[in-house]
Copies of this chain bind each other. A is one copy, B any other.
Amino acid sequence: MALIVQKYGGTSVGSPERIKNVAGRVAKFHAQGHQVVVVVSAMSGETNRLLALAKELSSAPDPRELDVVVSTGEQVTIGLLALALREMGVSAKSYTGGQVKILTDDAYTKARILNIDDAAIRSDLSEGKVVIVAGFQGVDADGNITTLGRGGSDTTGVALAAALKADECQIYTDVDGVYTTDPRIVPEARKLDTITFEEMLEMSSLGSKVLQIRSVEFAGKYKVKLRVLSSFEEESQGTLITVEENRNMEQPVISGIAFSRDEAKITIQGVPDRPGIACQILGPIADANIDVDIIIQNSGHDGMTDFSFTVTRGDLDKAVKVLDRVKSAIDAAVIETDKTLCKVSIIGVGMRSHPGVAAKMFRTLAEEGININMISTSEIKISVVIEEKYLELAVRVLHKAFCLGDSGGEDEE
């Protein structure tokens, strides 16, 4: 008998029929003797409907009141799921974030969990009840309703699993696990049985949106056994996200390939090559709440240098406006932008012990005539920025070069 936390996303609970399916799955686990805590999101479309209502009444909605409105989506789902389980004869009880209580800071719309009171849940579980908790929400110390930001239900699930010392936290989504890369681009892409937290973090942050990145960090920090599963396929074991030591020693060098189309590059030419210049450029960008990804500054000549960085395409115009304001202060000559780029990354904890991975990546791309625009590396990841038109080709040839297909990789274990 295990204590399992299961999290079901908006698509999995998107209609009464689907809620019944989730109830059936939960009931099966419960009947096997497991203690089950279920975390649910709002029914798909509901959060957007509520946000649209709020936007109709306020162009810049007050975040406290926005959370009051938006948090109702999950509250509806917990009640409905409890009704569905009770209809099947399973004793179930729902909790809002405030009722648990899930204590957060007061950063409305992006609150962080500070503490979870597990007393009521433990008591219910010991009575054989299925406990259903609203994802995405909590209360601050003054009892105000807070939300954790988009995708926060994953974080709720992991945080509950950590607080309850659950045997496993299962995240049910509309995919059946983590793949070596997007199967829509590489049909040979293979589902991974396991992936490390670090690899998963790199995959998440690079656009493989299976799990909210914060929940992966949380799970890694509190050593929560995290599994990604499909809520529509009963048989699959999904992908287990695990600490490195648990992995087979003969693991492949590269675990997966991530990519992102949402890249825009800004180059500031003719910047004086003097100390503090990076800060003068990026300080105002950060103040404008724009996330910067890759940053490149080459040592220059004649006391001048070029300074490049990437932002998401949606932030490009805002970033250029900011730079136009600081341009004269930094004596910059020209600001160039490029929206036709993408980013491709290979990820794997194995590259720590295998030299030559970067060289192999660059050679593979060169053989296809793909020019590399920018390079960025971390301990377990190598990213290149290339022209977007080469994205599919690059992912395919890299997938093959690093033997990630059905006949390679972990199948050798």
Q: Hey, which bits of chain A sit against chain B, CB under 8 A?
A: 16, 19-20, 50, 53-54, 56-59, 61-62, 64-69, 71-72, 75-76, 78-80, 82-84, 86-87, 92-94, 96, 98-99, 143-145
Contact yes or no, B79 A54, CB < 8 A: yes
A72's partner among B62, B67, B75, B99 (CB-CB below 8 A) is: B75
| Least distance between A4 CB and chain B CB atoms (Å) | 22
Q: How far is the CA of A83 from the CA of B59 in the complex (A)?
A: 9
Contact yes or no, B58 A83, CB < 8 A: yes
Q: How far is the CA of A93 from the CA of B68 in the complex (A)?
A: 10
Given contacts A69-B76, A72-B76, A76-B50, A82 and B94 within 8 Å (CB-CB): no
Contact yes or no, A83 B98, CB < 8 A: no
6 new A-B contacts at CB < 8 Å, known A65-B83, A65-B86: A16-B57, A57-B83, A61-B83, A65-B92, A65-B94, A72-B76
Contact yes or no, B94 A57, CB < 8 A: no
Given contacts A16-B53, A19-B57, A68-B94, A62 and B76 within 8 Å (CB-CB): no
Task: Give the one of A50, A66, A72, A143 with max B CB within 10 A.
Answer: A72
Contact yes or no, A96 B79, CB < 8 A: no
A82's partner among B65, B75, B87 (CB-CB below 8 A) is: B65
| Least distance between A64 CB and chain B CB atoms (Å) | 8
| Least distance between A2 CB and chain B CB atoms (Å) | 26
Contact yes or no, B96 A83, CB < 8 A: no
- A-B pairs with lowest CB-CB distance, top 9: A69-B79, A68-B79, A72-B72, A16-B56, A58-B83, A65-B82, A58-B87, A57-B83, A57-B84
- When distances are taken between beta carbons in the complex, the residues of chain B under 8 Å from A64 are 93
- When distances are taken between beta carbons in the complex, the residues of chain B under 8 Å from A68 are 75, 78-79, 82, 94, 96
Contact yes or no, A20 B57, CB < 8 A: yes
Q: How far is the CA of A16 from the CA of B62 in the complex (A)?
A: 16
Closest to A92 in B: B65
